[in-house]
Structure 1
Amino acid sequence: MSDFAIGLCGIGAMFVLMILRMPVGMAMLAVGYFGTVILNGTRSANALLLTETFSSASNYSLTVIPLFVLMGNIASAAGFSSRLYEAAFAWVGWLRGGLASASIVGCAAFSAVSGSSVATAVTIGRVALPEMKRFGYSDALSTGAVAAGGTLGFLIPPSTGFVIYAILTEESIGQLFMAGILPGLLLTAFFMGAIAFVTLRNPGAGPRGEFVPFEERFKALLRAMPLLLVIVVSIGGIYLGIFTPVEAAGVGAGMVALMAGISGNMNREQAVKAVSDTVRTTAMLYLIIIGASVLNPFLALTELPATLGETMTAAGFGPYGLLFLIVLAYLALGMFMDGLAMLVVTIPIFFPIVTAAGFDPIWFGVIAVIVIEMGMITPPVGLNVFVVKSVAEDVSMGTIFRGVLPFWFAMAACLLVIVVFPQIALLIPQAMFR
């Protein structure tokens, strides 16, 4: 059997292990280790396992993950996230479909302290869904808005997707964070446009909320100001070159913890839960990164990425034809794979093809993250749909998937705009490092 055939068998085995419910990181690690045993022997495989595990776990840049995750968990436990939704509700809740738009804005704001789509969907969903039910919103629109809004946690910095992409491609985490800002705001606007479209066709799906006087609006904004200040300090500090991403994460986590302590909004039990949730999430992400670090050298030995790249290039599709094929592959994988799993499995294969085609690696990182976001609300897996289902237990899966459909098309439209106008993603990073 050729090395290339062994590589294909390894990828197939990895998918089988995932279907059998093996954790993604362990599936990649097992395939990478035993594949290397077959190709280079046990001694080489053992050395690879030891060195890659140590180098991944001791990577200073990865410190950004537990710090930003901790920041989001503390903000949620202390109730700061609900203040973001209340402020958004005060400003846009009186519009038709306004509560759904407030959910989108709340998700966008919380994404800037969370970095996780699941955490964003759960946190805002718990606050927003009961309010939308109280005002008579359709189950499809309310759950669809929360599920789609949650995906912003994977795009708006600090994004765990960008951190892992940066580690896999050796690109700058800071530049990727900055690249996600304008696309994140654009996608937020597209989501709100989707809500306007749905409520225009069916006004009963999203009736207007109560009108809030301007004085109360500013009071709500003032209550949310401490967390907004954390967002401005951490993200603005990266842009101005005051902080590295790791330092910004540390400053942000410290500020949120200090505010929670001073306000008294978080008791000891909540603090312990926030820390334990952070440890679990971090362990899961580190296992995925370690698994990818062991899998990638095996794939390199089989020359699978290089061979696939040469085959796609020789097919004569052109740069944008190759990009279209890659997007289609992501959409197909998104039907049954977790977003992070897609990222770590595909980037080692697609990244050389993309760079050889002349595309900017920072720009492609944004494209990859948006397409993976689309997978988070695509059936039959649609991770964010299952997350929202856990919050809205009385709503059927079919209703939620029907509700996310307008938002899926909004994401596709946003993706097309960023492909046609790449400067939307590149403007801030280029200005930052000019």
Structure 2
Amino acid sequence: MAHLLGYTSFAFLLLLIALGVPIAWAISIVAFSGMTLLFGFSQAIAQFYTTAFNTAGEFLFASIPLFIYMGLIVSYARIGEDLYDAMYKWFGRLPGGLLVASVVSCTMFGAVTGVSSAAVGTMSKIVLPEMRRYNYDIKMASGGLASAATIAIMIPPSVLLILYGLWTETSIGKLFIAGIVPGLILTLAFSLYIMARCTLSPELGRAGDAFPLREKVQSLLKITPIFVIFGVVIGGLYVGWFTPGEAAAVGVLSTIAVATAMRRLSLNHLWEAAKQTVQLSGMIFAVLISASVLARFLAATQVTSSVIGIIDTSDLPDLVVLLAVLGVLLLLGCVLDSFGMILLTLPFIFPVVTSLGYDPIWFGIILVLMTELALITPPVGMNVFVLAKVDGQLSLGEIFAGVTPFVVITLLVIATFIAFPGIVTWLPSRM
């Protein structure tokens, strides 16, 4: 009976999401109803109260709003402009150089923000006018920019990796370090595709202006703040000076100090960044609390253990099970945002994957790579919507058409990491 209630509740949850109910409300409705039917009204209330209290009282959860705040301060300080200017001077002469510079800029921007939407919102204002001036193919340009911004959630500090680490009790520091190499590989893959395509069809994106070496070197001085902030936060984590929560606080202080020294930060900027942080963090924590109660409900109905039992008795190869899990994630990514996708699926897929013997850190990177696709695939595609709204001239169809090749590239990169997991696990193993 308990199994039937669990499976029915999850089916009802998917129905609510398909009907357009916000994911936090959908999960809360199902979790509360299920707990009430299973244990009674008072126990359901107690579960939500206890979960909310424990979440708010967990020190490591403070790193989520802090890293979001850090990224927003970077946006207000216009460091993204300096970053793109430097990358354009170094990579602009390549085929499709403006777009290549954008990809590299988005990757580096991820080193000071854990949110992909901040990267696409900041870089699109700078990059798209330049690409129009150079008559770049707008589909390729917008698709490449929306896709490159997803790399920001792979490069530490990453809010999604924090959520994964807290939920699964996996080392956040090792997850951060594990994200660096995959992020760089994805950057290289995107850049090589752009260069190859623009070499074969130069009209899609011609090379930019040439700059003397002295000017290139001078441009790097402007982006020194990014290296300083990244070095302090990630270097401190790598050598064990900070916990993730402490690293987030140090990162915010470092960012404010750098932006203030550059005379690009006002009290109004700090206030606006704080308001946006509260809004985004509120959404994340609403999903987190409701998903935590749902996980307890599913555990009580023994749905997760029954799924593992079915897989164990099916005698399917581990790789087939893993590919099936990734297929489900790919489908869910079409209708869920990245935060909802991670928190909704983890109670099911994490026990399954770890029961097969896969490394939790390796799977965390694979999962975040799959959520990157959720940011650029229709109909949800948060990065696509942000880009269309910020630019005001692009249609959603144009951007979705442009991201298609980059979705294929991301899937090929994921396949490479499945075939060679040591690429992901080598760097954190050296900590």
Please tell me the TM-score bracket, short chain as reference.
over 0.9
**One-letter amino acid of the structure 1 residue matched with residue 344 of structure 2:** V
Give the corresponding residue for 2:124.
125
**One-letter amino acid of the structure 1 residue matched with residue 251 of structure 2:** G
**Superposition pairs of residues 104-183 of structure 1, within 5 angstroms:** 104-183=103-182
Give the corresponding residue for 1:218.
217
**One-letter amino acid of the structure 1 residue matched with residue 15 of structure 2:** V
State the distance in 2 between where 1:23 and 1:62 align.
22
**One-letter amino acid of the structure 2 residue matched with residue 54 of structure 1:** F
Residues 1:237 and 2:236 are matched in the alignment: yes
Give the corresponding residue for 2:372.
373
**One-letter amino acid of the structure 2 residue matched with residue 158 of structure 1:** P
* 1:130-161 Cα deviation digits (max 9, x unpaired): 11111111101110111101111221111111
SS of aligned partner of 2:98:
helix
State the distance in 1 between where 2:339 and 2:219 align.
35
State the distance in 1 between where 2:377 and 2:260 align.
40
Give the corresponding residue for 1:196.
195
CA contact (8 A) 1:108 1:156 kept: yes
SS of aligned partner of 1:33:
helix
Residues 1:3 and 2:2 are matched in the alignment: yes
* C-alpha displacement of 1:390: 1.2
State the distance in 2 between where 1:228 and 1:361 align.
29
Q: Which runs of 5+ in 2 are unaligned?
A: none
**Superposition pairs of residues 185-334 of structure 1, within 5 angstroms:** 185-334=184-333
CA contact (8 A) 1:178 1:428 kept: yes
Give the corresponding residue for 2:425.
426
* C-alpha displacement of 1:241: 1.0
State the distance in 1 between where 2:191 and 2:274 align.
34
RMSD of aligned alpha carbons: 1.3
State the distance in 2 between where 1:113 and 1:228 align.
9
CA contact (8 A) 1:313 1:322 kept: no
Give the corresponding residue for 1:92.
91
State the distance in 2 between where 1:337 and 1:419 align.
24
State the distance in 1 between where 2:193 and 2:406 align.
6
State the distance in 1 between where 2:14 and 2:383 align.
21
Give the corresponding residue for 1:61.
60
State the distance in 2 between where 1:311 and 1:184 align.
35
* 1:77-134 Cα deviation digits (max 9, x unpaired): 0111211111111110111111111111111011111111111111111111111111
Give aligned-pair identity as a percent: 36
* 1:240-296 Cα deviation digits (max 9, x unpaired): 111111111111110111122222212332221111111111111111111111111
State the distance in 1 between where 2:332 and 2:405 align.
21
State the distance in 1 between where 2:366 and 2:358 align.
11
Equivalenced residue count is 431
* C-alpha displacement of 1:20: 4.0
State the distance in 1 between where 2:237 and 2:34 align.
40
SS of aligned partner of 1:261:
helix
Give the corresponding residue for 1:28.
27
**One-letter amino acid of the structure 2 residue matched with residue 275 of structure 1:** A
State the distance in 2 between where 1:15 and 1:36 align.
18
State the distance in 1 between where 2:200 and 2:390 align.
27
**One-letter amino acid of the structure 1 residue matched with residue 88 of structure 2:** F
CA contact (8 A) 1:56 1:293 kept: no
* 1:203-236 Cα deviation digits (max 9, x unpaired): 1111111111111111111011112211111111
Residues 1:353 and 2:342 are matched in the alignment: no
**One-letter amino acid of the structure 2 residue matched with residue 184 of structure 1:** G
Give the corresponding residue for 1:14.
13
**One-letter amino acid of the structure 1 residue matched with residue 343 of structure 2:** V
TM-score, L = length of structure 2:
0.97
**One-letter amino acid of the structure 2 residue matched with residue 255 of structure 1:** S
SS of aligned partner of 2:170:
coil
State the distance in 1 between where 2:106 and 2:61 align.
24
TM-score, L = length of structure 1:
0.96
State the distance in 1 between where 2:211 and 2:132 align.
19
